[in-house]
Every structure is written in C-alpha cells, then in structure tokens.
A = this chain, B = another copy of it.
C-alpha cells in the first residue's frame, strides 16, 4: 500500500493528458474510465473479469451503501475492498447526487440534506461531514465532497446558490476529512476531491473552479454536467472550466458517457470518468464495439456465427457468436446480461487504453477523428 496520493502528468497532446494517479490500492492510469459498482458490485460482472479487462479503479455509490448494508457494517467487515473482493482503487461519490435523484421527501438546507430512503422510507441526514465519514468508513481511495447539483436548464440564481453552497460544503468537507485523518479513520494516501459546479454558466464555473483551486484539493471533479444540457454545451463548459483548475491535479468529469463523449472530453483535458452506460446497456442487449453500437435483440443477428470482436482480448467479445448472444438476450437469460456487461466493460477499457497510447505517441487528434468515424458506423 502506498502512503501518498500523487498525480504524475506524463504527457500532453493538445488538450489531452496522459497521467498516473497513485493511491493506497495502486496506480490509476489516466485517462481512466471507472465502471460503476453501485451496491458494492459492478452489475453482472465478476471482479476478476474487471481486473483482467484492465480496470484500474471502480466507482461505488455512497447513497446506496449508506442505506444498505450501511457504512458501519462495511467498516466492521474490513472495508469495501474486502467486502466486495476488489483489491484495486475505489472512488466513492458523496451521495448527494443520488439523494436528489432517488430519495423521497428530500429537503436541502445550508446544513445538508434530509431524505427518506427509497427502500423503506427510513429518515436520514447527509451533511458534508457525514458524507466524508461514510466514505472513510467504506475505505475509499478517492472521496468526493458533498455538493449540490442542479438539473439543467435552471434559473441562474438557483445555479449560483448551488455554487455558493457547494463551496461552503467543500470547506466543511475538507475540515472533516482532516479531522478524520487526525483520528486515523482516513489513512495516508486517501484523497478528497472538490467538485466544480456552475451549470453551463462560464462565470459561475470560473468562480467555482478558482475558489476550489484556492483550497488546494488533490483532485477536482466537474459535476453538474450531463444533467440535461446539450452535448455541445457540456463540452464547451468542460473546456472552459479546466482552464481555471491546476494542471498538476487530476480532473474527473462525473457521469460521462458514450465512447464519443469520452473522446471529446479527453480532448478537452478530462482525466477520469464514470458512467453506468456499459453495464446498463449490456443488461439491455446492447454491445459497444469498434464498429459502433450493436443491438443484439435485432433479428439480423439470429444466424450470425461471428463474435462481437474476433480481435478482442475479452472472452465475452471474442468467443461467443452473435447468434448465441441474440438467443440469450431474447430468452432473457442471465448469461446474456453477464456476457454483454463484461464485453462492454472490456470495450470501454480498450477505448481508454487506445487513448492513452495515442496521447503518449502525440497523435491523439488524428486517432480521435478516425475512431469517431469508426464508432459512428454503428450496426
């Protein structure tokens, strides 16, 4: 276990960055895509399959885990890594975003957020301090401050108020994290990221980024995007925001996205990503490939002996015919969701690995335009 959280910027190519984050559970090669393991499992995928696919880090959801099985229980069972048998880095969100999208009867004040569990209606309070405590109990390598994320479009006043509140919560989160570190609940090398808010308002984004940068977080998330704005506005806001963030710290664009989104965001300087798309699509019969998205429900695959990708290193993509995958999806068999979630997870890692190689070789722009054309082909 390493005892220092560090980020090494190894190369840049246009806006794109190649780097390495060192965490207590190992290295994260960036740009990195984090599969989502909401409830302490990346749905339908074994952790061995994640590691073999090249996954360096997964994301887990504080909101789900605080409700069930609870952070205290996971701590008493040796932490989230041990609980779910994943030895590499874990990043946790703060829970705030999912309280706003999933919980019932939520009420947000300057102090924090009150809500009722979507599972059983039980009442909870999540403050910046409690969100950090939960993430320390889980044993996350990278934690997120509690923030307020506004669905877009939204009036400027509302976005501005959320920025102010999120900055106040960033301060409190940082203090809480230092407190828990002093207590030994947070261990050396674990890190807390601040989250930039501000909707698609350039001025608010700058204000949020600069204020957070002044607090000297070891990394910065860009939140409040992919929440209703156009893809163009998202990318423009991203490109604008990164200018006001320190170049020597990792930048995590939350909740993004499709393969093309990832390429565009890497081109604009984002280093880390998470999204449910590869696993959720897998459960719905869709595969991501270098030739674009493949809908295995489509009858055209019923007699096709070809695999998703004969050149893939992933057995799910390489060794099973499209005809068999089509059959499994139509028959609603577990194995269909299992194979497609695995194949998609592996494809996303191949995509990130290809980006890292292209950046390292100084040909990211050419690679990106060629790859976007291939991905757009679809099938």
Contacts and interface: CB of A to CB of B under 8 A. Distances in A.
A320 B85 contact: yes
A320 B83 CA distance: 8
Contacts of A68: 327, 330-331
A36 to B, nearest CB: 13
Interface in A307-335: 319-321, 323-324, 326-328, 330-331, 333-335
A334 B327 CA distance: 19
Contact of A333 (B41, B73, B320): B41
A228 interface: no
Q: What DSSP secondary structure best describes chain A's contact surface?
A: loop
A43 B302 CA distance: 20
B302 A73 contact: yes
A121 interface: no
A303 B338 contact: no
Contact of A334 (B83, B320, B323, B338): B338
A57 interface: no
A337 interface: yes
A43 B335 CA distance: 7
B43 A331 contact: no
Interface in A78-116: 78, 83-85
Interface string A64-77: 10001100010011
Nearest to A40: B327
A305 interface: yes
Contact of A305 (B43, B69, B77): B77
A338 B44 contact: yes
A152 interface: no
A76 B303 contact: yes
A302 B74 CA distance: 10
Nearest to A337: B334
Given A319-B85, A335-B44, A73 B330 contact: no
Nearest to A42: B335
Contacts of A76: 303
A124 interface: no
A6 to B, nearest CB: 31
A162 to B, nearest CB: 31
A84 B40 CA distance: 30
A327 B41 CA distance: 10
A93 to B, nearest CB: 17
A117 to B, nearest CB: 13
Nearest to A332: B39
B328 A83 contact: no
Given A40-B327, A83-B324, A323-B83, A335 B46 contact: yes
Nearest to A334: B44
Contacts of A335: 41, 43-46
A76 B323 CA distance: 11
**Shortest 5 CB-CB distances between A and B: which pairs?**
A44-B334, A41-B335, A69-B327, A39-B331, A41-B333
Given A41-B328, A69-B323, A85-B324, 8 more contacts: A43-B335, A64-B331, A68-B330, A69-B302, A77-B321, A84-B324, A334-B334, A334-B337
